[in-house]
Amino acid sequence: MAIAEPPARPRSDKGLQADALGLVGNIVIGLAATAPAYSLAATLGYIVLAVGEKAPSMFVLAFIPMLMVAFAYRELARDTPDCGTTFTWGTKAFGPWIGWIGGWGLAVSAIIVLANVAEIAAIYLFRFVGLDSLAESLTAKVLLGSFFIIAMTVVSARGIVLSERIQSVLMVIQFVILIGVSVIALVRVFAGTAGEQAVLPSWSWLWPSGLDASSIAAAVILCIFIYWGWDACLAVGEETKDSENTPGRAAIITTLILVATYVLVAYAIQSFAGFGDTGIGLNNEENVDDVLTVLGGPVAGGVAAALLLLTVSVSALSSTQTTILPTARGTLSMAVYEAIPKRFAFVHPRYMTPTFGTIVMGISALGFFFLLSFISQNALADSIASLGLAVAFYYMITAFACVWYFRRTLLASTRNLFMRGILPFLGGLAMVWAFFQSAYDMIDPDYGYTAFGSIGGVFVFGVGMLVLGIPLMLLCFAFGTKRFFRGETLTPETTVKVPDIY
């Protein structure tokens, strides 16, 4: 008796698994890539340091241009649902050179953050299990962090469905604990049982009055970092049902969930901790690196403290994997259009993932992690502080690409004018301002922990990594097929469905 073969899973034209994700799964990928718990733990203290009680207003202020950029992503994804995202859209709008460097900006962001989140996942896991001495050991952190990068690279290579299922579990853990602790903190504040350091929340925290441009820029560039990752929704668009609409819708929903969560947590922490410079106060310099887990014990006891440590570790770990996913798919698209070596276009016939690009991304992150860890922990910290520059860079390219690509249809309707023109343009301008104002401030050698002569290390890492893309692009031009750079493989008229020819 013959046994029927199971029906083959549908493929996209690049060989990826089509229709693998629905709206919820796509949102999960976007939320996991932002790593909400880790992002808040790592940055909220510094945002408060920059703007004081106005931190919630910075989350709202940064959200506005982020939403405008998300509209650009949605419109471009409807027209061209390609896993190359910024690379593909930038090329179709502005030509191969701008498109290539935009794709590099996304890759740089991923490499920088992977090294950092792997270390954070290791540190907080050690602290969760009570091994504080190992959390301070460079060797232990590097070994466990490296294991996490390797493990998440393997998971990413094994298929998008497995990745989404793992991320769903990790995401539930994050949000249940974050929201639960925040609600408990606010209830205790209003009940008057939070302690003398607590302050009642104020609506004025949502209005950024009395702040100078440098303070706002410093806070906004940090907020760009904590929002960054939602665009992973678009990178897995070709593996999502209704790829013209679902990824863009997921990106908008993801940003809305993020702003609500960040404002809630910021209000809870500011209200419970207060702004004192001792104890759990937010102006205590000992707390600035992590104001989130410091509050676990005071808010809800030892169990909550342990759960927050676990939450940050889980958050960083989930981001390790979801950062690899979109970047590997970006290199797949670049290879299909012959912008980088053809080897990156290899898609595993069984797992339907860009295996080679995934492995290269994992190895690159490991190399960057080793290099900065053993050079200086301060260098690793400054590299993450520079991340906002790379993110603002490729977001601005995407936003302006939307305006220029759709320029001939902007006046066809009021909707087109706003969704494809005015809003993306304003979002792009905001990213330009955030990039240049922050870069100017980062030149100061006192901006971060390291300096190269009279230039701040944060500036060197941020701008230097972007500039590194220029010689790499020229190498691809010199030793590649040159068809991409001559504008032959990807033009405004190129259909998105590129045959899987490699």
**pLDDT number for residue 49:** 84
Does pLDDT of 497 surpass 70?
no
More confident: 425 or 165: 425
Residue type, 458: V
- Please choose, from the candidates 312, 395, 353, 310, the residue with its C-alpha nearest in 3D space to the C-alpha of residue 106: 395
**pLDDT number for residue 159:** 67
Residue 290: pLDDT band with limits 50, 70, 90: confident
Instruction: Measure Cα distances from 87 to 76, 83, 101, 375 in Å.
Output: 12, 9, 8, 32
Count Cα neighbours of 156 within 13 Å in the Cβ-side half-sphere.
31
Does pLDDT of 301 surpass 80?
no
Per residue in 97-129, is it b (16+ CB within 10 Å) or e — as a string? bbbbbbbbbbbbbbbbbbbbbbbbbbbbbbbbe
**pLDDT number for residue 12:** 46
- Answer for the pair 362, 149: CB distance below 8 angstroms, yes or no: yes
Torsion 238-243-244-248 (CA) sign:
negative
Q: What share of the chain has pLDDT > 90, as a percent?
A: 28
**pLDDT number for residue 23:** 85
- Please choose, from the candidates 95, 333, 152, the residue with its C-alpha nearest in 3D space to the C-alpha of residue 234: 333
**pLDDT number for residue 118:** 87
Residue 502: pLDDT band with limits 50, 70, 90: very low
Does pLDDT of 316 surpass 80?
yes
Does pLDDT of 500 surpass 50?
no
3-state SS, residue 451: strand
This prediction's pTM: 0.86
Give the list of residues 6+ apart from residue 105 with CB closer than 8 angstroms, or none. 86, 390, 391, 393, 394, 397, 466, 469
**pLDDT number for residue 426:** 96
**pLDDT number for residue 208:** 85
More confident: 383 or 19: 383
Residue 335: pLDDT band with limits 50, 70, 90: very high
**pLDDT number for residue 17:** 61
More confident: 372 or 238: 372
In whole angstroms, what is the distance from residue 82 CA to residue 361 CA?
19
Query: Residues 223-246: pLDDT tens digits?
Result: 887 888 887 777 676 677 777 778
Residue 15: pLDDT band with limits 50, 70, 90: low
| Partners of 240 in the β-ladder | 21
In whole angstroms, what is the distance from residue 383 CA to residue 401 CA?
27
Query: Residues 238-289: pLDDT tens digits?
Result: 677 777 778 788 888 988 999 999 999 999 989 988 888 888 888 888 877 7
Does pLDDT of 2 surpass 70?
no
The pLDDT mean for the chain works out to: 84
Does pLDDT of 24 surpass 80?
yes
DSSP for 89-139? HHHHHH-HHHHHHHHHHHHHHHHHHHHHHHHHHHHHHHHHTT-HHHHT-HH
Does pLDDT of 160 surpass 70?
no
Residue type, 236: V
Query: Residues 67-84: pLDDT tens digits?
Result: 899 899 989 988 888 888
* Mean pLDDT value across residues 116-124: 88
* Mean pLDDT value across residues 277-305: 78
How is residue 261 written in tokens? Answer: 């969560």
Query: Residues 139-155: pLDDT tens digits?
Result: 999 999 999 999 888 88
**pLDDT number for residue 111:** 85
Give the list of residues 6+ apart from residue 174 with CB closer than 8 angstroms, or none. 36, 37, 311, 314, 315, 318
Does pLDDT of 120 surpass 90?
no
Domains recognised in the chain with CATH numbers: 23-479 (1.20.1740.10)
